[in-house]
Amino acid sequence: MRKFPENFLWGGAVAANQCEGAYKEDGKGLSVQDVLPGGLRGERTKQPTEDNLKLEGIDFYHRYQEDIRLFAEMGFKVFRTSIAWSRIFPKGDEDMPNEMGLKYYDDLFDECLKYGIEPLVTISHYETPLWLAEKYDGWRSRKLIGFFERYVRTIFTRYGNKVKYWLTFNEINSLLHAPFMSGGIMTPADQLTEQDLYQAVHHELVASALAVKIGHELMPDAKIGCMILGITVYPLTPDPEDMIAVMEKDRETMLFADIHARGRYPKYLLNYFEEHGIQIQMEPEDHEILKHTVDFISFSYYSSICETVHKELGTSTGGNLSRGFKNPYLKASDWGWQIDPRGLRYTLNKLYDRYQLPLFIVENGLGAADELVTLESGEKTVLDDYRIQYLREHLIQLREAIHDGVEVMGYTSWGCIDLVSASTAEMKKRYGYIYVDRNDDGTGTLERYRKKSFWWYKEVIESNGACL
């Protein structure tokens, strides 16, 4: 019989900037998200503006106790969230941290532990302090490695006895696609060369490895992973040229996992740099630092794309950052993200075959427009069978992959409670098991309601996946 392992870490995931709100409370500084009211592809504003839903988020900052109680009711074993860097170092380059920010996460992690929920903490989730963007052009500057080092030393020292699972940079490969949101790079994207982008990537990779090194020194029992935006690519046609195109497209993602898992730049990337006249400035110590490899690989998985050299045959598809061609065999969500549960099994096998490291799915889910209805009993809920179906199909494929022999530590579905979306900055695009009464125009009571999927996921966890 196909089974999930004992101690499988079931749970859900959020990011500070998408749910906390309280954007200037208790000494918090601004982050890049506070000036991105339109999300990934929207315009950035000079100052925070009222139309930016993230400024209030779902008010998780004040309501986390109620929310964690609901997660506990579903039986969560793990809860993934991020620390907002600008709560700890409001500008990012100070010598001393902000005690009120540190205290907040102490309380948050204690609240999780009270219910036996392990915190899984992303150190940097698309929320670089704005000051670091404005003064240093974000991760283009090597100085950020030093600021990041101070930040991780601070949080590892403070929370090392509470947090065992850590992720360094959320979807680190996104830096190539969304330089401001992902890397705090102020220079407009169309003025950045590949040289600029890969130099910034190098800084993040060194910072990530440094975090692993420091984390292992300060917290010998901790497990520290990288986090990759899992873009699964298929050839649109059986033309061998398409297969080569897939291999090349895939490398844009895999290079990040390769460096994190193997501790050095792969030959194909060094060749690419040489052929494209890219010269990365590396300090002598960088090679030693990069050798501090991760304990596990985590990734987000929402959809897959096709690649082809026969551009005239393809139609482009949507997705967060994963733009490619439509797969005629797949349906898509209302936001154009292709739904591909089998691709999850394939991706898990591919990553495990390549690295033989434990894997963790830290994001997966369906963004949909939900309708709140009132049942005869008077209870308000959402009948989100479409979400249940999406999640069930993915979990079945995850179980298949485990049966194939892949070592998977856990699964945290994205946006376990409704939050503000990253790419489009909407409330309307909901992922949660818990409905939050907030609308795109900012109205709503912020009340929480259990959706039908809440009860479904509770049963999944209770039965350790046997009811799927």
Based on the shown chain and the rule CB under 6 A, indicate whether residue 15 belongs to the binding site for ligand BG6: yes
Based on the shown chain and the rule CB under 6 A, indicate whether residue 399 belongs to the binding site for ligand BG6: no
For ligand BG6, the closer CB: 53 or 200 = 53
Q: Rounded to the nearest whole angstrom, what is the least distance from the CB of residue 382 to ligand BG6 in the complex?
A: 17
Based on the shown chain and the rule CB under 6 A, indicate whether residue 333 belongs to the binding site for ligand BG6: no
| Interatomic CA distance for residues 130 and 170, integer angstroms | 17
Q: Rounded to the nearest whole angstrom, what is the least distance from the CB of residue 238 to ligand BG6 in the complex?
A: 30
Q: Rounded to the nearest whole angstrom, what is the least distance from the CB of residue 464 to ligand BG6 in the complex?
A: 26
For ligand BG6, the closer CB: 205 or 420 = 420
Based on the shown chain and the rule CB under 6 A, indicate whether residue 178 belongs to the binding site for ligand BG6: no
Based on the shown chain and the rule CB under 6 A, indicate whether residue 171 belongs to the binding site for ligand BG6: yes
For ligand BG6, the closer CB: 308 or 421 = 421
Q: Rounded to the nearest whole angstrom, what is the least distance from the CB of residue 51 to ligand BG6 in the complex?
A: 17
Segment contacting ligand BG6 by CB under 6 A, of 99-107, 324-332, 417-425, 460-468: 417-425
Segment contacting ligand BG6 by CB under 6 A, of 153-161, 263-271, 375-383, 421-429: 421-429
For ligand BG6, the closer CB: 201 or 362 = 362
Question: Residues 284-303: x/- map of binding to ligand BG6 (CB under 6 A)?
Answer: ----------------x---
Based on the shown chain and the rule CB under 6 A, indicate whether residue 20 belongs to the binding site for ligand BG6: no
Q: How many residues bind ligand BG6 (CB under 6 A)?
A: 15
Q: Rounded to the nearest whole angstrom, what is the least distance from the CB of residue 293 to ligand BG6 in the complex?
A: 22
Based on the shown chain and the rule CB under 6 A, indicate whether residue 170 belongs to the binding site for ligand BG6: yes
For ligand BG6, the closer CB: 56 or 363 = 363
Q: Rounded to the nearest whole angstrom, what is the least distance from the CB of residue 364 to ligand BG6 in the complex?
A: 10
Residues with a catalytic annotation lie at 363
Q: Which of residues 359-388 bind ligand BG6 (CB under 6 A)?
A: 363, 367
Residues within the interface to ligand BG6 (CB under 6 A): 15, 18, 170-171, 229, 300, 320, 363, 367, 414, 421-424, 429
